Structure 1
Amino acid sequence: MPTSSHTVAVVGASLAGATTAVALREEGFAERIVLVGAERHLPYERPPLSKGYLLGSAARESVFVQPETWYAEHDVDLRLGVRAESLDLATRELVLDTGERLPFGQLVLATGASPRRLDVPGADQVDLQYLRTLDDSDRLRAALRPGVRVVIVGAGWIGLEVAAAARTAGADVVVLEQAAVPLGVLGPEVAGVFADLHREHGVDLRVGVGVAAVRPTGPAGGTAGILVLSDGSEVAGDLIVVGVGVIPNVELARGAGLAVDNGVAVDAALRTSRDDVLAVGDVANATHPLLGRRIRVEHWANALNQPRTAARTLLGRTDAYDRLPYFFTDQYDLGMEYSGHAAPGDYDQVVVRGDLAERAFIAFWLSGGRVVAAMNVNVWDVTEPLQRLIRSGRSVDPARLTDADVPLDDLVGTTPG
């Protein structure tokens, strides 16, 4: 039987956690793998929870990373419904809520993130809905139907995807956003496209307003309630969904004395401040070789791709995770892909190729003439050249970016700038 020094323990039976196990086996690791997850479901992907699965267009089986038989066939000890309580690095043991102390040689933290809670008076008096887990999506899917009035707090990606699903199901929808525009990270030039999209589909989108308090309209603990807004007005809903961001689950790492900074701080090889402990997915704040700083990305692509780098690092074949951040959304008849990283302050100009009004365009975020991020809306098969353009670091004439007659490949050139 393999000794504990050869055991890799993975905490978090998520997409990132399960894919770490897959990558280890594919990279040739033949020793023991233990995958520990607090949920009782098989590891699953999260994007369908606010997209196809919530809409009812994707089957339940489609959300799972691997069929149940895969774990036994690949000798992965899958522990579901088991929570890791603490991490003892001195003895290299993971303390589980079953009382077991699980010894390991190396550890991967794939603990993800948890929804940020609405912290206002009365919030504990109403059963506010959050969307993070498969069970959350099941509850919302059952509740979204014609005649139900849904109030959504937060016009980020989750909030707007839930709004689209609710309207598609025939529910009445109000979306409340504290910022001046939805999806403020995109900037006003592009955010307006999504605001117009939802209003055209009957969403009552209100911006520049926060929530001051919550009041139940029935017995405490029910889903119906009234939101008292910062402007003094009130909004009633049969169902209140909160999507105001997430908080990385760093409790294990912090308790063990690992470096924590907006997530678990890791290097480009995904090692924490201890070489025998790695972190992947939503919880990992990773040094990005191309961007030259740490970033924490809460999207599917990181959870899917970081585990390959982590597996190679665990096997002594140190690699660097340098994929560009990537995410996508589907709302009504709008499909979008985004590559790169352009947080507020990271860019000084946004230019567009195509027609914003027709919702068929590519937007480019520039910093000093270099493209740092790009988003294609209802324009397909362009992700690869857009990512090459970003990675090239070239300065590009904005007039060429906006000219649809200039092929994207011509913007990249043949050598890095």
Structure 2
Amino acid sequence: MSAPFKRSSAKHHVDEHLEELARLADTAGAIVVGTLTQQLDRPHSATYLGSGKVEELKLRIQELGATLVIFDDELTPAQGKNVELMVHTRVMDRAELILDIFATRARSSEARMQVELAQLEYMLPRLTRMWTHLEKMRGGIGMRGPGETQLETDRRLIQHRIRVLKERLADVERAREIQRQQRQSHYRVALVGYTNAGKSSVLRALAADGEVFVEDRLFATLDPLTREVDIGDGYTVLLTDTVGFIRKLPHHLVASFRATLAEAREADLLLHVIDSSHPAWEEHRDVVDGVLAELGLSGRPLLYVMNKMDAVPADMVDAVRARVANLMPNSLFVSAVEPGGLDPLRDELRESLKRQRPVLEVRVPASNGRLIAEIHRDGEVLEQTNEDDTIVLRARLDERSIGRIRQAGARVVVTKGVTRAVSSGAALDTLGTSAHTVPLP
């Protein structure tokens, strides 16, 4: 059931939005038997739809034998209750459907707690409608019936459970914060994007890990997954796949998944993966950008990655590239399934990491061949010269390597760039910085 507003751009995308709703229903295990649309000036306060359309809906339900009505928009508790009473059929809105999918897809204890919290917060103002068997026992003033008493008891139980879940998720967030601190010396990259844009496929291909779960369905994965990825020239990054976004994502769900999305908040770079073969990729991009802004991530370094270029019709490739170049210059065009299809992304990650690492002058006693070999192994040596009994190397190194070689007796001088170690007051010498200096958080 879709009801786009008149004079809005939504009415031009009704078929596409209903198709997406049908895919959500399929993911949840429902079989779609029919659709119904209405253009509205504004939602009816009592039933969302106009009275005539509600009657039409009732007749369609009887004709098709439907047992469930799914609205593409979020209904108020009163609207959902009123429509159910009028059509004598269970009514579900888009938010409830997405929450139901998340409940079946959650695997880790953290994801299950996050989904349960979102479901309880959604359910709390809707208890009277969702548990209609209690309404038959209502009493009047001075004669409060057991049904009303049970509703109040249920509300208290749900409110208590919400408090418990929030406390447990706060503990999870503290544990995650410790893990993130331990990974601060790594270059961290987070994949974000619309659901089914191919984020997991990108992670699977880059990490060469066949155990990364991939499925052509909405919200195939909910739990964040991090892998160390080799991007060439001895460089590696920590790449994290995050939960996908979708149009009209329930705000309770966004709030509940803040702990998980903190992985994106702490990343050095966000990769916004877009399904370039989808006809509504521009709308998907806007949805994701909106959610990122809501989460306070709009200011993070971000790179648009146009995925699934292999699925773009041959006669549309040039048009897609031109449109992307106009809207989002410097975007990457990749394919997670074609051989070499992710090479542009791998190259860009390597260059991005290099821009974040300082160029160092490292002086090592010529007799310490083991330390010199370690620098060649763990870093990128740009130049090596001899000065008497000292080997002088110009190299890029990560912070862990910098600390290790200094402890081994090497003298390290920053010639370009600023490291976290410098900003935190560590004893690194600095010869000066260039216009390419990139302070790290």
Task: Determine which structure has more spread, i.e. the larger CA radius of gyration.
Answer: 2
Confirm or deny a common fold (TM above 0.5).
no
* Structure with greater contact order relative to length (CA < 8 Å, sep ≥ 6): 1
Greater helix proportion:
2
Greater strand proportion:
1
What TM-score, normalized by structure 2, do the two folds share? 0.22
